[in-house]
Amino acid sequence: MDPIRVLVVDDSVVVRKIVTDVLSADPAIEVVGTAVNGRIALAKVEQLEPDLVTMDIEMPEMNGIEAVRAIRAGRNRVPIIMFSTLTERGAAATLDALSGGANDYVTKPANVGSVAQSMESVREQLIPKIKGLTGRPPGPARVAAPLPPPRPPAPRPAVKQPAVLVIGSSTGGPEALARVLPQLPASFPLPVLVVQHMPPVFTRQFAQRLDRLCTLRVVEAADGSPVTPGTVHLAPGDHHLTVRATARGPVTTLTQGPPENFCRPAVDPLFRSAVDVFDGAVLGLVLTGMGSDGRQGAGRIREAGGAVVVQDQATSVVWGMPGAVAQAGFADEVLPLDRVAEAVTRRSGARAGVPAAVAATAGGRR
């Protein structure tokens, strides 16, 4: 198998060398070029036709966000991974880049600590994402067997009318959520809880962005909030989001228990808790993402009489999470992204409503 051809874009000599040295040490990856700003990167994308681009955000002449938008304006679909800082400003810029067409992000090496620590951080974060976004196996290079078709759902008792919607997503999830959630009508009858794999700071800003797009209220989840229709609770970075029963009704719970599926927040704890609290009357949705987080929880939902919808392979940035659910036979429907909101609304029993984009134009909630 040919190596994955990567273009590294960063105005820092030190960062370019760290990233280049780390990637070049992996036999499955070849660094075919570097660029010091977005303008040069545009030319090299055309010239070198890389399989993937790593992109810094703040650069002279043309920054990373502008470069991403320019690449996508030319209808080039090369996967792009942003380097981000874990700050308010870095989170805002990264979310801008994702909405502009970037596929994922990793933490930029800090200017503290040793070079060896920086290299290990890049190796652990970046290489799995490069391989995931280019469809390569994470282990030693080998020819992957073709995926079998998704298993049909296993026979089971009648599906319960859902009392809650739980959603899991990861790589590509911010853009997918920004397309699905605004299409849920103001009359949507279920409370909504979402786990998107994201670090702290990012989740707060992402919740605020979604809130501006949706007719439903979107908040970063807090501990002990009532779980009621009309509100979408987004798991905060570094905390598992679950739901528990109280005398006054279901409420959110935040914990820092051990990561599951290498993630915190993780999808499986949310799905399991929803099954327990709502006696299986759960509608699960699994969108694009790397790995298999959500597969075990989706199985629990179906065993308890709930239903599960997953995004299809063609419209997923990475068909890891939804693919794992579908391959296990836990999906009631496997749908392209533009049909997901309709299926969720139909299964919820909601009346047809006005999507957020229309409401905003007509002077809706905001």
Give the pair of three-digit tokens for residue 354: 């006005």
pLDDT at site 149 = 67
Q: Do domains 4-133 and 164-361 have the same CATH topology?
A: yes
Tell me which fold the domain 164-361 belongs to.
Rossmann fold (3.40.50)
User: Is the pTM here over 0.85, yes or no?
Assistant: yes
Query: Taking the mean position of all CA atoms in its chain, how far away is CA 327?
Result: 20
What are the tokens at 21?
A: 């040295």
Q: What is the DSSP string of 42-63?
A: HHHHHHH--SEEEE-SS-SSS-
Q: Which residues lie across from 34 on neighbouring strands?
A: 8
Residue 349 pLDDT:
87
- What is the length of the chain? 366
Decide: 304 and 163 in contact? Cβ < 8 Å: no
What residue type is 94 in one-letter code? T
Amino acid at 259: P
Return d(Cα 259, Cα 307) in angstroms, integer: 25
Going by their DSSP bridges, the two strands 80-84 and 104-107 should be labelled as: parallel
CATH 3.30.2130.30 fits 4-133, yes or no: no
Per-residue model confidence (pLDDT) at position 298: 98
Tens digit of pLDDT at every position of the chain (366 positions):
899 999 999 999 999 999 999 999 999 999 999 999 999 999 999 999 999 999 999 999 999 999 999 999 999 999 999 999 888 999 999 999 999 999 999 988 765 567 888 899 899 999 999 999 998 765 444 444 455 667 776 667 678 999 999 999 999 999 999 999 999 999 999 999 999 999 999 999 999 999 999 999 999 999 999 999 999 999 999 999 999 999 999 999 999 999 999 999 999 999 999 999 999 999 999 999 999 999 999 999 999 999 999 999 999 999 999 999 999 999 999 999 999 999 999 999 876 444 434 333 333 454
Backbone angles phi, psi at 220, to 5 degrees: -70, 125
In this structure, are residues 130 and 29 in contact, taking their beta carbons and an 8 Å threshold? yes
Which residues are designated catalytic?
170, 197, 293
Radius of gyration of the chain (CA): 21
Beta-carbon contacts of residue 271 (< 8 Å; ≥ 6 apart):
166, 168, 282, 284, 294, 296, 297, 298, 300, 301
Domain assignments of the chain as residue spans, ordered by start: 4-133, 164-361
35 SS3 class:
strand
pLDDT at 118: 86
Q: What is the pLDDT of residue 148?
A: 61
144 Rama class: left (phi>0) / alpha (psi -120 to 50) / beta:
beta
